[in-house]
Structure 1
Amino acid sequence: MEEIERKYRVVSTEFKDDSHQKYTIKQGFLNTHPERTVRVRITGSTAFLTIKGKSTADGLSRFEWEKEIDANEATQLLALCEPGMIVKDRYLVKKGNFTFEIDEFYGENEGLIVAEIELNNKTDSFEKPNWLGEEVTGDTRFYNSQLSKNPYKYWKK
């Protein structure tokens, strides 16, 4: 399974007015090796175990495998994760044929808001809302696995 996505900084909170769904995510990483990450994620009463491979050179795609798991088991797995829990609210915004997933981070990543859009093909075009800022696709600092190790609050502004 290949995941194709582009990632952007978000420059305003106007996306909240366009959002049709919001939920909180808590996630940790069992492994953050550059070649692969293993993530445990809880969203409400639903939980997932996800394995992601290394990104392509352009940062647009990588292997992704995901399986729903029991939420109680996920809570136990979170206790085994590497330091650096990620907590964020995710907003969904539909634009044309695509849905943007906008993550507003909390804790040590407070102040960071990032939008992702999953594409069917690397060449897909889409409408860019006015709240979409600089593209950061392929910039590993914005990977959740890296934010868990090097939180946004420690970046030099």
Structure 2
Amino acid sequence: MEIERKFLVKAEPDLGDATSVAVRQGYITRPGDSVSVRLRQKGAKFLLTVKSGEGLVREEHETRIEHGIFETFWPATEGRRVEKTRWTGALPKGETFEYDVFEGYHSPLRLVEVEFESRKAAEAFIPPDWFGTEVTGERAYSNEVLATEGLPSETAR
């Protein structure tokens, strides 16, 4: 299970001790399917993820796969991909943030996500000043919709 809140980014953060990794991901399924099947390369790791549900709490199952398997299925994601740099760091109260800087067609989009252990913790979270408008559960800001439909009109170039 994944409990996560997602926000636009209002101001570039001080990334301090945050680490970064290049991410490319593509979707085998299409928006509107009851589940989402995603391939992701995160640095040297290759992952297959199945998600279902919408909003704050979603089901998520992820497994590591071998590079050859990733390459076998990657062509099936043509036209349904995003590339980004993901920065991971700690917020002042100890929560972990994932700050995504989208590249290519999806530039200049910036999103930040925070995952939680419980719904109660998620609902009690007070975002720092550099977080912008909350977009949790907004379909247009899901990576799958970004990969297939592009940027929402309010963030388009």
| Equivalent residue letter for 2:71 | T
CA distance in 2, matches of 1:141, 1:147: 7
Q: Which residue of structure 2 aligns with residue 23 of structure 1?
A: 21
Percent identity reads: 28
Q: Give the 3-state SS of the residue equivalent to 2:50 in structure 1.
A: strand
Change in 2 beyond 3 A, CA 1:19/1:111: farther
The alignment's C-alpha RMSD in Å is 1.6
Q: Could you tell me the TM-score, scaled by structure 2's length?
A: 0.89
Structure 1 residues 10-60: Cα deviation after superposition (integer angstroms, max 9, x where no partner): 012224x335210000010001243210000001211000000021xxx10
Q: Which residue of structure 2 aligns with residue 67 of structure 1?
A: 63
**Would you say how many aligned residue pairs link Structure 1 and Structure 2?**
151
| Equivalent residue letter for 1:68 | R
Q: Could you tell me the TM-score, scaled by structure 1's length?
A: 0.89
Q: Which residue of structure 1 aligns with residue 100 of structure 2?
A: 103
What pairs up with 1:1-157 in 2 under 5 angstroms?
2-15=1-14, 17-34=15-32, 35-55=34-54, 59-95=55-91, 96-124=93-121, 125-152=124-151, 155-156=153-154
CA distance in 1, matches of 2:134, 2:126: 14
Shifted more, 111-120 versus 123-132: the winner is 123-132
- Structure 1 contact 87–107 (Cα < 8 Å) conserved: yes
Unaligned runs of 5+ in 2: none
- Structure 2 contact 31–144 (Cα < 8 Å) conserved: no
- Structure 2 contact 31–145 (Cα < 8 Å) conserved: no
Change in 2 beyond 3 A, CA 1:77/1:9: same
Higher strand share: 1
